[in-house]
Amino acid sequence: MVVMTSHDPTPGALPAALTATIDLDAIAHNVGVLRAASGTDLIAVVKANGYGHGAAPVARATLEAGAAELGVAHITEALALRDAGIDAHITAWLHTNHAPFDAAISADIDIALSSRRQLARVVDAAQRLGRSATVTAKVDTGLNRSGVAADEWADFADDLAKAKADGAVRVRAIMCHLVRGDEPEHPLNSQQAERLDAAAADLAQLGSPAEVMHIANSPAALTRPDLARDLVRPGLALYGCSPIPERGDFGLVPAMTLRAEVALVKTLAAGQGVSYNHHWTSERDTMIAVIPAGYADGVPRLLSNQMRVQINGRSFPQVGRICMDQFVIDLGPDGGGVAEGDIAELFGTGADGAPIAREWADQIGTIDYEIISGIGARAHRRYVGRAARETRTAQR
């Protein structure tokens, strides 16, 4: 693993105040963990810009590591992957009335359908283009979110069978999403699988069988191999965060390390406050440092006076309100040996004692999905690992 220092910029890039270093070897390692635990192939979920890690680099790394397919939420995300030169099978599963179905069909994107209305629009687009659309039946088996509703299923299945018979669609897959995947023993997990199996049997009876089935998300892929079916569909675990932290890390390695350069070091007299509304006041003469990252970059304002950073192997508390672009840390009376230009680690693998994304999440009552996917565009993404080196070599 490459470690970034203040003297280790990406070749050819301008220095960045805030850098998210993405270890593609960690991504590859996590693919291996998931394949071994589930006993089957996987769809690597790279929606939301690869959970903030960068969709295209992550997609390439997962495919090189053995992922069979890719999954995203929106068709536009799938089209961006095609534009990046990725030709793997891609499924997109969240659509509005104005989703670009024509473009999806032309780019050979697997369109997961949640209603008869969506199916009708896809059939219309396929007929206009004079080619079959690849589709997945997304079944609502209890999450009560997107997916074909139970009271619509019979009519949807009939429509799908007719569309297949007419050559308008190829029925590639059937899928659902678990309600309680992070509670592996909960009976609803098996009930949802049974409901999806029944729906798959309906399609087969109507002459439009799905070629593959997928159910399991990250927690189920790691703990319920009996739900794996033909493919598993992990998201969070690919990026090295445990989907069931009370059961440990499952051998996953966090892929993102967020670091910032210390922008300013200054003295603060006892009794002086820091940042907006002076929600923290120093009880003694001390030294403070300014870190150029804030809530516009994905550092939650709710973390104010709760988080810590690590610099040169020492941990320092954040003090005062976190602002849009910056926050302040207390270095203590001796300054902690910190100088302007040093690198502060906000979160990372945790192997060096620095925080991990889960620490932030726990402190403000959220989940690490929200933390890593919320790291903003101002953070320069820097890629390390074998896959990153091979990409740079190929571009020369």
Binding residue numbers for substrate: 145, 324
For residue 219, the one-letter residue type is P
Cα distance between residue 332 and residue 247, in whole Å: 36
β-pairing verdict for 280-281 and 273-274: antiparallel
Cα distance between residue 235 and residue 241, in whole Å: 10
Which residues, 6+ apart, have CB-to-CB distance to 248 below 8 Å? 242
| Contact by Cβ (8 Å): 254, 30 | no
Around Cβ 265, how many Cβ atoms within 10 Å? 18
- Report DSSP state, residue 297: G
Q: What are the binding residues?
A: 145, 324
- Report DSSP state, residue 336: G
For residue 290, the one-letter residue type is V
What are the angstrom distances between the C-alpha of 295 and each of 59, 150, 375, 377?
27, 41, 9, 12
What are the angstrom distances between the C-alpha of 206 and each of 200, 254, 328?
10, 45, 64
What are the angstrom distances between the C-alpha of 199 and each of 204, 209, 217, 298?
9, 10, 19, 41
* 310 φ, ψ (degrees, to nearest 5): -120, 130
Cα distance between residue 236 and residue 276, in whole Å: 35
Torsion of CA 117, 42, 198, 146, to 10 degrees: -30
Cα distance between residue 120 and residue 116, in whole Å: 6
Give the E-state strand segments of 46-187 in sequence order.
69-72, 90-92, 110-113, 133-138, 169-175
Which residues, 6+ apart, have CB-to-CB distance to 57 below 8 Å? 22, 24, 50, 381, 383, 387, 388, 391
To the query of whether residue 276 is one of the catalytic residues in this protein, the response is yes
Catalytic residue, chosen from 266, 276, 295, 369, is: 276
To the query of whether residue 162 is one of the catalytic residues in this protein, the response is no
Among candidate residues 235, 193, 195, the one with its CA nearest the CA of residue 214:
193
Instruction: Judge residue 66's burial from the number of C-beta atoms within 10 Å of its C-beta, 0-12 exposed, 13-18 middle, 19 or more buried.
Output: middle
Catalytically active residues, by annotation: 47, 276
